[in-house]
Amino acid sequence: MRTVATVVQPGFAPFEFGLACEAFGLDRSGDGIRGFDFRIVAAEPGLVPSNLGFSITVDEDLAFAETADLVIVTPVPRERWQDADPRVSAVVRHAAERGAWLLSVCSGSFVLAAAGVLDGRRATTHWMYADTMVRMYPQIDVDPDVLYVQDNRIITSAGTAAGLDACLHLLRQELGAEATNRIARRMVVAPQRDGGQAQFIDKPLPVAASHSLAPVTDWMLENLRADLSVDQLAARAHMSPRTFARRFKADLGATPAAWLARQRIIHAQRLLERTDLGLDRIAWESGFGSAAVLRQNFVRVLGITPTAYRSRFPSVSEDLAPTG
């Protein structure tokens, strides 16, 4: 992914628009992170009004979006959900047809829905508008309970800040977990956001967790190799297993087992990116026990084998494997 086009339309939401600019438009070469050819486009270049009473000047029309590797769609006013701009719809459909990435933030998913690219797919939007999307587009499998949904190369996000989760999710696939960790750290975002899928902001280590179970989760991260049971974790938290499991889900949005499994995947990703360790050693360091179990979890969560993942991110000399 090299080129990114963010489409703005009259009445656009500045915050959601800003998320796209922050995630894909900043020059991070000073942090050793490659950038993108990022451009803001509109069906009619010139002054484009926001929904907060000010306008921005957009210099480019939709031509760049016709060939961009990623097309981002920000929210439009509710009255325009059914009265979609046919020029924008055409760009969205063409992006889907040619296999480009499509990403919508918040109710921007209605722009994708109006273009027909979400038909027969799973998607999400802001929880306030999920029922509306179900009524307007019964052919879409709307999931209102997640931060974002990726269906093939189309990503839809829930309300406002969840758009950042979706952006980081895509960056992780394109740049790797280590680079995305650095981006998250610079943004000073929450260290963990989970809605039940593979949708996590990697913990930007070293940063202390802010939830009430931080001492336990910090200990879990330091002991990924161990066989950690709920009973053992509950004892460290001085709670009953039932209370601990309920509190953990409330604080972190996932069960202890699901959260731990994802942290092990994240650690394995970093080792694959940054070291030349063999798969058996990486599996042991990450708590999976064997290369076969590591491979099974990698394919289930990320849709790619560890070997294929490593080939996308050439390792560097620094060895991040723990000692001992």
Q: Are strands 70-73 and 101-104 parallel, antiparallel or unpaired?
A: parallel
pTM above 0.85, yes or no: no
Question: For residues 39 and 59, what is the distance between their CA atoms, to the nearest angstrom?
Answer: 9
pLDDT tens for 134-177 read 999 999 999 887 888 999 999 999 887 888 989 998 998 888 87
Average of per-residue pLDDT across 81-94: 94
pLDDT tens for 220-246 read 999 999 999 999 999 999 999 999 998
| β partners of residue 205 | none
Average pLDDT over the chain reads 86
Right CATH for 208-312 from 3.40.50.300, 3.30.360.10, 1.10.10.60, 1.10.3720.10: 1.10.10.60
Instruction: Report domain 3-175's class.
Output: alpha beta
Average of per-residue pLDDT across 37-47: 97
Rounded CA Rg of the chain: 21
Contacts of 174 (CB under 8 A, 6+ apart): 1
Contacts of 2 (CB under 8 A, 6+ apart): 36, 37, 69
DSSP reduced 3-state for 281: helix
- Give the start-to-end residue ranges of the domains of the chain: 3-175, 208-312
Q: Is the pLDDT of residue 190 over 60?
A: no
Structure token pair of residue 136: 């307007």
- Which of 115-129, 248-262, 276-290 is predicted with the least confidence, judged by mean pLDDT? 248-262
DSSP reduced 3-state for 172: helix
* CB 171, CB 148: distance < 8 Å: no
* CB 130, CB 142: distance < 8 Å: yes
| DSSP conformation letters of 239-276 | S-HHHHHHHHHHHHSS-HHHHHHHHHHHHHHHHHHH--
pLDDT of amino acid 316 = 46
Contacts of 188 (CB under 8 A, 6+ apart): none
Average of per-residue pLDDT across 15-40: 93
pLDDT tens for 147-159 read 889 999 999 998 8
Cα 197–176–311 angle (5° rounding)? 110
Residue written as tokens 């029309």?
61
Percent of the chain with pLDDT strictly greater than 90: 59
pLDDT tens for 304-317 read 889 988 887 764 43
Question: For residues 198 and 194, what is the distance between their CA atoms, to the nearest angstrom?
Answer: 8
Q: Residue 211 — very low, low, confident or very high, per pLDDT cuts 50/70/90?
A: low
Nearest to 40 by CA among 26, 60, 20, 22: 60
* pLDDT, greater one: 259 or 206: 259
